[in-house]
Amino acid sequence: MSSTVLESRLQSLQQHLQQENPILLEAIESFRELDRVAYAMGLLSKDESYATQIPWWPLVSILGTFSAGKSSFINHYTGTRLQSTGNQAVDDKFSVLCYSQGEDGRVLPGLALDSDMRFPFFKISDEIEKVAEGEGRRIDAYLQLKTSSSENLRGKILIDSPGFDADAQRTSTLRITKHIIDLSDLVLVFFDARHPEPGAMHDTLKHLVEDTIGRNDSNKFLYILNQVDTAAREDNLENIVAAWQRALSQKGLTAGRFFTIYNEDAAVPIEDDSVRQRYENKRKQDMADIHERMHQVEVERAYRIVGQLERVAHDIEERHVPAITALLQRWRQRVMWLDGGLYGLLLVFLLWIGVSLPWIESLFNSPEMSLMFVVSTVLILGGLHHFSREVVTRMMMKAMKKSGDESYLVALHKNTRFWRSILQKKPTGWGRRAKKRLTAVINTSSAFVQRLNDQFTNPSGLAAEAKKTETVATKK
């Protein structure tokens, strides 16, 4: 993607936000400020932007095993039959569901997601290509976009994932899953109450639970035990929930609420009135809580995007600058060691010439020859130093590519160009001006938070009281 295309996409995003949320519209300019610092330091290429690395719509991802009732939950939530349901695997793709005023259930290929920066799968084909060569070109085998006119989808995106039990395309599927978990505002993790042996699902629990516990945003995960109506006959719901809680605690999950629900339309008949009433009440309460959390992502999204501004600014100063500085220190030391070796060999060679060829000394009796010798020596030393720099840079870049850590490849290249002094310790692009820009972004993000608070809160009640007084005065 060229810089021209990137600018076009950012302008398209600005137009989208013009009506939706002016505060987020203003945040794009702050992302541009971060981009300018990152370009100068080599953290981003000219065709990249921090603004394209986050989804701008609220995102709810729905994960779980096959037959855990994910699709049924989505159909109930949207009030449509967007997703096929069944006891077996019915879809091996990630389905991205979004609002549209047009026809329900329109299915668009994965390319529609891979090429649109507003969606969380923008350029995901590049990530797939990294873990499975050639698979990035098969983006339609992994993703699809579905539209619906359901009002519950307005202003947010839902993602229905394929079950974790699949072996086909597993590596790429897990890479995509990790990607959407990172970007999601809310993650619903579904388990099937009809399979009360969680100990047998070691691999699934690892990816759905164990890998998410240490996250700073672990509170965005809701664990849902679905189809609990199957436990009504034995009336042992508490035992089943306890079994799953023990399994999760063995994976390190000691906090977080467990929701228990079922599909009312496909529920097993519950003959005992008291049992049925208890199950229905529990289901209604948990469904209401889940829906409320899903509704809240529209508010949380705005805070997430503004918070990302501050996080990126702090990351540049507190993580990237020290990392590049340390990288340059290693580069500098290796260049100096190689310089020392090459200069030593040159000195030995010159001494050998002086001893082996005594007549050479007579050539330096004239000032012209002495000056030529000095100039030649300086040029040779400079050439050897340039050779050392090139060799060390290429070796380090090759090692970084081999290890898969290419975060600072461009930064290393920018900092080791021939006009950069080896004694320069400060990374290219980092200085008083860059730090001032980051400080301005951090201050701006704090102002954005205050304005968001004014939209969604009113601790003093003054605004509400003023509005009430104005309404009364108008009526009079």
Asked if pLDDT for residue 466 goes beyond 50, the answer is: no
pLDDT at 332: 94
Tell me what the mean pLDDT of segment 444-453 comes to: 86
Residue 232 near residue 275, CB atoms below 8 Å? yes
What are the tens digits of pLDDT across the range 265-280?
777 777 778 888 888 8
Q: What pLDDT sits at residue 356? A: 67
Decide the pairing of beta strands 157-160 and 94-99.
Answer: antiparallel
Which pTM was predicted? 0.70
**All domains in the chain, ordered by first residue:** 3-316 (3.40.50.300), 322-433 (no CATH)
Which DSSP letter does residue 160 get?
E
For 175-203, give the DSSP string: HHHHHHHHH-SEEEEEEETT---GGG-HH
Beta bridge partners of 95: 144, 160
pLDDT, average across residues 439-468: 73
Higher pLDDT, 81 or 348: 348
Give residue 354's pLDDT.
65
Residue tagged 């629900």 (tokens) = 261
pLDDT digits (tens, 9 = 90+) for 372-400: 777 888 888 899 999 999 999 999 999 99
Q: Which two tokens stand for residue 244?
A: 């799953």
Report yes or no: 399 and 393 within 8 Å, Cβ to Cβ. no
Q: Give CA–CA dist 64/191, Å, rounded.
A: 6
Percent of the chain with pLDDT over 90: 23
* Stretch 289-307: mean pLDDT: 86
| Of 258 and 282, more confident | 282
Highest mean pLDDT among 82-91, 92-101, 252-261, 339-348: 339-348
- Where does residue 19 rank: exposed (0-12), middle (13-18), buried (19+ CB within 10 A)? exposed
Query: 224-237 pLDDT, tens per residue?
Result: 888 877 766 666 67
Instruction: Point out which residues pair with 148 in neighbouring strands.
Output: 99
